[in-house]
Amino acid sequence: MLHIRHPLRKFLHFLLFAFLFILHFTGNELITLRSASPFLMLPLLTSYSMFKSELRASIVGAISGAFIDSVSNTPGCFHTVVFFLLCFATSFVSKYLFNINYRSAIVLSILGNTFYYLARWLVCYAFSTPITDSLIYIFEYALPSIVFNAVFVLAFFSIEKKIHTAK
Amino acid sequence: MRFFFRSRQFKIILSVAAGILALCIITGVIGGAIAPHSSVVGTVTAPFVSLAQEISDGVRELVATYKSGNEFMLKNGELEAEINELREKLSEYDKAIRENEFYKDYLGIKDENPDFEFAPATLISRDNEDPFKGFVINKGSLNGISEHDPVITDAGIVGYISEVGLTTSKVATILSSEITMGALDNRTNDSGIVSGTMDLAKKGECKLYNLARSCTVAVGDYIVTSGEGIFPDGLLIGTINYIGSDEYSSSIYANITPFVDMSAIKNVMVITDFKGQGGIIPSGEE
């Protein structure tokens, strides 16, 4: 069920995840555009999950989430839970409802990102900050980041496709 | 599709989900601590993240130099290169000097507050997704740090420890609406409450509200902690840059520019013990 057809795939995925993890959480603002800060792990996980089984996608999602929880300011297991659900849903939906192509990648990225930022807003800000802060978060941080991430998903989908079809 | 829900794969996924749910419950029960699995991951990855942070800082400084592109920055860069060369030659000696200087800055605070117990810490990662500029430091419960311990630099107050792991801790900054602390105008002794809002956090500022309409605060005044809440008294917060009238009450408010630049922090001190610690716990928590 979890067999690897090409040993290099595992290594390439490890490198990709490690690089994005470090890039995002070492405060590197090179890829930040005003208040839109792309969370590159999200488009990568979306693209990855589209090509993998539900089990593998959800486990990789949970592990990535655990890593992010160790350095993120969100409470408890937030990323572990959200990424687990996100990767499972993406893998499941792309297997039964979508075709695996660029258009699906963009749609799934937007849906997944919307789920992530809504969950983050609900857990972190909805009940603890004034309504104005909530609106600022949604319109000035979440929405631009969702759009920004949707652009990056094309690059990651292309990489995943290459890795997946490599012999 | 229905076969999937009867498959072995789905049963394993359900088991993993149950495991994660159990972790969430454990984390909720122990409250104030980093989730156990994240704590373990954080302990293992801390050295690598710390190294990556140093590299990232170097890259950021390099980019800042090229972005500004003026003569001053170029000259500064040349001088910095020279300094770096010297530093390489005397790295161990220089490290000791820097450490001494770092501790010297805190000596004044320690002299004024002999009851303070410090734990020095270094920033290892920032959360770019956090609008309030929270970050993670390389010290945890093994170093005597506990939840709600104040975090400062030699310039002033930074925030408090929001979650503690074994060897890492998460810091919520004073830009966050999570923090509310009693504060005083150092000149007039007018008191109010300092907290953050998302709008002000974008500019790196926070808000002093609940000021009486009769108060005499002015732009440029220094704001310090009053000692009410979880912070000791007399810690520098920042200066007033704007005074406004509250739309919904008779009080007035002031915007504060903190003395500490939250996006440039590298080293901090955690006050692990002080007289009167543990008096009042922040709002919204038991």
Structural domains of chain B in order of their starting residue, each with its CATH number: 37-173+265-273 (2.40.10.340), 180-262 (2.40.10.350)
Interface of B with A in 180-209 (CB under 8 A): 197-199, 202
Distance CA A101, CA B12 (A): 28
Q: Calculate how close chain A gets to B244, using CA atoms only, in Å.
A: 17
Would you call B128 and A24 a contact, using CB atoms and an 8 Å cutoff? yes
Residue A160 touches chain B, beta carbons under 8 Å: no
Other Cβ atoms closer than 10 A to B22: 11
Q: Where are the alpha helices (DSSP H) in chain A?
A: 7-25, 41-51, 54-69, 78-96, 102-120, 131-136, 143-165
With contacts defined as CB-CB under 8 Å, which chain A residues touch B126? Answer: 25-27
B51 reaches A (C-beta below 8 A): no
Average pLDDT of each block of 10 consecutive residues along chain B (286 residues)? 77 85 76 69 71 70 66 74 74 63 66 79 84 89 89 91 88 90 89 90 90 88 86 89 83 91 88 75 48
> Is A7 part of a structural domain of the chain?
no
Tell me if A15 is assigned to some domain. no
Hey, is the C-beta of B116 within 8 angstroms of any chain A C-beta? Answer: no
Q: For residue A112, which amino acid is it?
A: G
Q: Does A131 touch chain B (CB under 8 A)?
A: no
A2 domain-assigned:
no
Q: Do A75 and B126 touch (CB under 8 A)?
A: no
3-state secondary structure of B112: helix
Contact call for A133 and B125, based on CB within 8 A: no
Of the candidates A77, A122, A1, the residue with the CA atom closest to the CA atom of residue B19: A77
- Looking at the structure of chain A, the number of domains it has is 1
Amino acid at A81: V
Determine the pLDDT at residue B281.
52
Among B10, B52, B127, the residue with its CB nearest the CB of A22 is B52
CA dist A10 and B15 (Å) reads: 24
- Identify the pLDDT of residue A84: 94
Residue A131 sits in which domain range? 39-165
Residue A115 within any structural domain of the chain: yes
* Chain A nearest-CA residue for B30: A76
Confidence (pLDDT) at B75: 76
CA-to-CA dists, residue B197 to A57, B176, B208, B255, angstroms: 37, 6, 11, 10
What does the pLDDT profile of chain A (167 residues) look like in tens digits? 444 456 778 888 888 888 888 877 775 566 677 767 788 889 999 999 999 889 999 999 999 998 888 888 887 788 999 999 999 999 999 988 888 889 999 999 999 999 999 999 998 888 878 888 888 888 888 898 898 888 889 999 998 888 887 66
Query: Domain for residue A95, yes or no?
Result: yes
DSSP letter, residue A133: H
CB contact under 8 A, B38 and A22: no
